[in-house]
């Protein structure tokens, strides 16, 4: 029974990581603007994050060491520090986006301006991280996040032209009136939303926290193979809902309320209530992950004591990093910066920074000295190498595309 409950780590990573504010916005936005023509990117992204997370979890279980500990060792102190700065900056942007996402979800539920919710959300986050056990966080926010399945119910209720949706998805072409650079830019945004590095920081650190060993490798695979495909299914449902309701009406996605509109149209107030619970759970769960990932990356790089299973007194610097990150992110959010725009930038920059964390994990996962007979198989390496090429290409073209398209404008 305990092993079954541990699978909720994968569910939390899928709902709070794969389907966070970034995925909600990216999939709804692309569905409203491009229909299902970018659905293939979600599939590419989920297969990539399955490879990435499975390697990270396996490395954590065999070596007992998390991602950033190995990044520093493999890249060296200076290169590792550059990696730390880049990863922490993107993580910080994501914390801002998630705090704003939670506040926006509460605004939709209460009609109280989201800025008034921001300080309350910050306090709730800190109390949750400080007081609630790791396993309890997994179960609570992971299972609450399953409310996002309401998008699949709404899609069925809408009764769209399934043939048209499948035609768009199976024959991806740039819609009339859109340019190839903009289409590719949003493909990168979807890819970045699927393969956000903090997901792996959290996943591998969680494996170490829960003291996974060789005996837990099946659990690692179950988490990855159940959690992330579930996230991809929800992502496609969100995209299809937007393509069915928003695109025909020429409605763009600039706010979280527009993401929820198709569910409201299909299922009324009850559906809206369920989707708001899902929004809150997914964004709050992701805010927890990103905050903890901030503490993980810094503490692991500098060799400090870290972890939820360690008394705060023994991991004081780990907790200070999380607290300072939370305070700074809260202050930035209170400047009235648009959380949706921050989300868009964070997922695109995540795609650009992927090689910094992907390559060291791929190297370690192939190191017999570390992994013994649990190193990557030939099949895993075949696909992992293909993704390394994809990630490198994405990293090279992301910033030029961002500038050329004015961030997809």
Query: 255 phi and psi, to 5 degrees?
Result: -140, 165
| Residue 123 falls in which region: left (phi positive, over 0), alpha (psi -120 to 50) or beta | alpha
Average pLDDT of the residues in 288-292: 88
Can you read off the two tokens belonging to residue 182?
A: 């903009």
Question: Which DSSP string do the residues of 107-161 spell out, in sequence order?
Answer: HHHH-S-HHHHHHHHHHHHHHHHHHS-HHHHHHHHHHHGGGGGHHHHHHHHH---
At 132-145, the pLDDT tens digits run 776 667 667 767 77
CB atoms within 10 A of CB 334: 15
Residue pointed to by tokens 């290409």: 393
Summarised one tens digit per residue, pLDDT across range 262-272 is 999 999 999 99
Give the tens place of pLDDT for each residue, 13-56: 555 556 778 788 889 999 999 999 999 999 999 999 889 888 88
In order of start, what are the domains of the chain with their CATH numbers?
A: 2-404 (1.20.1740.10)
Q: Which residue from 244, 289, 235 is spatially nearest to 266, judged by alpha carbons?
A: 244
Q: What is the pLDDT of residues 29-40, one digit of tens each?
A: 999 999 999 999
371, two tokens: 């992994």
How many residues appear in the chain? 409
Handedness of CA 239, 240, 245, 248 (dihedral sign): positive
Structure tokens at 138: 């997994």
DSSP 366: T
Percent of the chain's residues with pLDDT above 90 = 30
Q: Rounded CA gap, 149 and 167, in Å?
A: 23
Tokens for 220? 């690692």
Query: For 364-379, what is the mean pLDDT?
Result: 86
133 in helix, strand or coil?
A: coil
Q: Is 99 left (phi over 0), alpha (psi -120 to 50) or beta?
A: alpha
- Pairwise CA distance, residues 153 & 280, whole Å: 19
Contact present, 322 and 129 (Cβ < 8 Å): yes
Q: Is the pLDDT of residue 172 over 90?
A: no
Query: Are the C-beta atoms of residues 239 and 262 closer than 8 Å to each other?
Result: no
Q: Rounded CA gap, 189 and 343, in Å?
A: 10
- In angstroms, the CA 199 to CA 188 distance is 17
pLDDT higher than 90, residue 358: no
- Section 63-78 average pLDDT: 76
């Amino acid at each position: 029974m305990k092993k079954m409950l541990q699978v909720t780590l994968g569910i939390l990573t899928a709902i709070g990581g794969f389907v966070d504010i970034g995925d909600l916005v990216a999939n709804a936005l692309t569905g409203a603007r491009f229909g299902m023509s970018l659905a293939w990117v979600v599939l590419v992204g989920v297969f990539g994050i399955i490879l990435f997370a499975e390697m990270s979890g396996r490395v954590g279980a065999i070596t007992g060491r998390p991602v950033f500990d190995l990044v520093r060792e493999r890249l060296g102190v200076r290169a590792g520090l550059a990696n730390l700065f880049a990863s922490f900056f993107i993580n910080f942007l994501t914390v801002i986006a998630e705090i704003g996402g939670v506040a926006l979800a509460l605004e939709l539920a209460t009609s109280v301006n989201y800025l008034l919710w921001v300080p309350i959300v910050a306090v709730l986050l800190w109390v949750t991280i400080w007081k609630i056990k790791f396993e309890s966080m997994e179960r609570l926010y992971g299972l609450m996040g399953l409310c996002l399945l309401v998008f699949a119910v709404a899609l069925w209720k809408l009764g769209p032209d399934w043939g048209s949706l499948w035609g768009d998805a199976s024959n991806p072409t740039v819609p009339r009136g859109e340019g190839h650079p903009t289409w590719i830019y949003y493909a990168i945004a979807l890819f970045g939303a699927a393969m956000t590095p903090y997901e792996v920081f959290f996943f591998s650190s969680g494996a170490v926290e829960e003291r996974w060993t060789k005996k837990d490798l099946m659990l690692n695979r179950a988490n990855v193979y159940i959690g992330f495909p579930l996230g991809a299914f929800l992502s496609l449902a969100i995209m299809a809902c937007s393509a069915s309701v928003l695109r025909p009406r020429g409605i763009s996605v600039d706010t979280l309320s527009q993401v929820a509109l198709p569910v409201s149209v299909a299922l009324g107030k009850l559906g809206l209530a369920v989707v708001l619970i899902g929004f809150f759970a997914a964004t709050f769960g992701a805010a927890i992950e990103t905050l903890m990932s901030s503490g993980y990356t810094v503490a692991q790089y500098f060799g400090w004591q870290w972890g939820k299973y360690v008394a705060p007194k023994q991991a004081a610097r780990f907790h200070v990093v999380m607290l300072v990150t939370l305070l700074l992110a809260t202050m930035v959010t209170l400047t009235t910066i648009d959380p949706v725009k921050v989300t868009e930038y964070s997922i695109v920059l995540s795609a650009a920074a992927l090689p910094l964390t992907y390559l060291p994990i791929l190297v370690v996962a192939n190191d017999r000295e570390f992994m013994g007979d649990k190193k990557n198989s030939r099949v895993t390496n075949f696909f992992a190498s293909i993704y390394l090429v994809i990630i490198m290409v994405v990293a090279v073209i992301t910033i030029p595309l961002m500038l050329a398209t004015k961030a997809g404008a």
